[in-house]
Amino acid sequence: MMFGFDRMANRVSTAAGRPRAFFLAVGVIVVWAISGPIFDWSDTWQLVINTGTTIITFLMVFLIQNSQNRDGAAIQAKLDELIRAVSHARNEFIGIEHLTETELEEVRTVLERVAGDEPQRHAAIIRLIGRRR
């Protein structure tokens, strides 16, 4: 069952991100707007679009979250592999995505302190950008 959901979520999120899906949505809104005078701008006419967009939004939240979870897990696996592959990298960083927000903030603060002050980091970034040109 879960495998089916993952496959379906992947297909739907891929399709929803394509221009065709956007233009389909715009088309639905245009047809709805044009039909306003036909239905005398009734409450039912408004309820149709409100209900439809609410349901689609509600369902898309789950599909987007599934896609983000999958992407995040893939990125973490790739980063973990890079940490393992680089000889002078610290293996303690593997899995830090499971730390609490406070613990992650502490790690970040320590790393920034080790990296030096702001002007040094800024100068290093400028040098890096200069090398890419």
User: What is the sign, positive or negative, of the torsion defined by CA atoms of 25, 30, 33, 39?
Assistant: negative
**58 & 81 share domain:** yes
pLDDT for 111: 83
What pLDDT score does 34 carry?
Answer: 97
48 and 29 share one domain: yes
Residue-number span of the structural domain to which 127 is assigned: 99-133
pLDDT at 133: 63
Residue 1 has pLDDT above 60, yes or no: no
Q: Are residues 17 and 39 in the same domain?
A: yes
Render pLDDT for 104-132 as a digit per residue (tens, 0 to 9).
999 988 887 877 777 777 777 788 788 76
Q: Are residues 72 and 45 in the same domain?
A: yes
79 pLDDT exceeds 80?
yes
Number of domains in the chain: 2
Length of the chain: 133
- In tens, the pLDDT along 7-47 reads 888 899 899 999 999 999 999 999 999 999 999 999 999 99
pLDDT of residue 71: 92
| 104 and 87, same domain (yes or no) | no
